[in-house]
Every structure is written in structure tokens, then in C-alpha cells.
Amino acid sequence: MEEQSFAMPRIGDPAPAFKAVTTQGEINFPEQYAGSWVILFSHPADFTPVCTSEFMTFASMEGQFAQANCQLVGLSVDGLYSHIAWLRTIKEKIQYKGMKDVEVRFPLIEDITMEVAKKYGMIQPGESSTKAVRAVFVIDPKGIIRTILYYPLSMGRNFDELYRVVIALQTADAFDIATPADWRPGDDVIVPTAGSCGVAKERMENQDLTCHDWFFCTKKLTKEQVLDAVLKQ
């Protein structure tokens, strides 16, 4: 059969559309997620240890993501019955880092043909041509890709960081600001760089801003302001 080639999606692109079978029934992506943030993520294989630790962690945080209007969708190139058996094993048998009885309620896509994985650049042959790498796509309520992260097979992701990414994107949208290195809700935020000398001078004199130089001004944004905006998403 002729090999289909896909361009890798990029930040700012519409999320490539697909319909797929999942552990929660069929999904029409990203159309049915319109109005919600969504994290589409891939893992290499069911019944593997790093993936199991990741699914238990992500499933335990599902409510926290839901409160930020963010839904989760997983994918691997395994089949539906493998997915179902693996998720049942996780629930019935695995205890890990204080987590037990963990039920994965978000959909896990079966992608035996690798059609979706290829569309999203999740197959990276230098790492593996038979498994998806650990890819993460953060997609906004309009279906636009806002963040892309890729990890190799051997490295479990940091799910606190994924949550921080979602909150930082929502905060940037709500307040028209940028977030500095290692930002967490409650930390000062960056006001966009001034486009003219006049504005830069005004900024430097503005008592509400801390200007380190004309191009680098921050302002206070309380944790309450951030959480209020996030919860209204």
C-alpha cells in the first residue's frame, strides 16, 4: 500500500481532524471538543511500566484538569481490547505511589493503522517506527494547537508541568500577558514589550509595573485573579 505522508502539525495550526474508536466510544476530534481545552497525548504501548505510571498519574488529576475546562484524550497504536485489558489491570491490580483503584475515564484511542499518530507526527522512526513517542498537544477551545511537547520512550512526563502549561496559556489569553520562566499562579507576569519609545517610557514611570529595563516589565497578578479566570473558562 502507498505510504501516506503528513506534515507535522505546528503551534498555531488547527488540530488535524480525525474520527476514531476509543475506550469511551467513537470520537470526532477536535470538533466534539469545541469550547473546551483538550490535551491529546500519545504513549508507546499498553502494559508497559512508564506508560502505566503516566496513566495512573494523569487519571488521578483528571478532575483538576476538568476544573480548568481541559479534557484528556490518550492514544497508542495498540488495539481496543488491549487498551481495555490494560486499563482494567491498572484499576484492579496496580498500586503505585499511593494511587490505587485508579479508573481511567478519559478516552484512549486505538490507532492500529497509525493513521492518527502519523497525522500528529507521533511516529518518529529514529526513536521507534512501531510505537508512538510520548507526544503532548495542548489544543484550545477553538481547536488551535497552542503547545506541543515530545518526550522519548524512556521518559515519563511531568503532569504538574502539563497542568501549569494549560493554566499559563489560559492566563495569557485572559490577561493579555506572558509568563516568565518557572511561572506559577501568584507570581508576577510579563506585560507585552512596548512597541514604541513613548509607551516604553510611560511603562518605566508606571508605579504598578516593575521595569527591569524598557523591554522587560512585570506586574502583579494574584493567584486568586488567575484561578478566577481559569475557573470561568
User: Applying CB under 6 A, which residues contact ligand BEZ?
Assistant: 44-45, 48-51, 131, 153-154
| Shortest CB 151 distance to ligand BEZ, Å | 11
- Give the residue ranges of DSSP H helices in the chain: 49-60, 62-67, 80-93, 115-119, 159-175, 197-205, 223-231
Closest to ligand BEZ by CB, 36 or 128: 128
Angle between helices 49-60 and 80-93 (to 10 degrees): 70
Phi–psi pair at 143, nearest 5 degrees: 80, 20
| Burial profile 179-205: b = 16 or more Cβ within 10 angstroms, e = fewer | beeebebeebbebeebeeeeebeebee
| Shortest CB 134 distance to ligand BEZ, Å | 9
List of E strands, 5-144: 18-22, 25-29, 37-42, 70-76, 108-110, 134-139
| Shortest CB 109 distance to ligand BEZ, Å | 17
Q: Is 79 helix (H, G, I), strand (E, B) or coil?
A: coil
| Shortest CB 153 distance to ligand BEZ, Å | 4
Query: CB–CB of 72/41 below 8 Å?
Result: yes
Closest to ligand BEZ by CB, 153 or 211: 153
Q: Is 31 helix (H, G, I), strand (E, B) or coil?
A: helix
Closest to ligand BEZ by CB, 154 or 196: 154
Active site residues: 51
Closest to ligand BEZ by CB, 50 or 200: 50
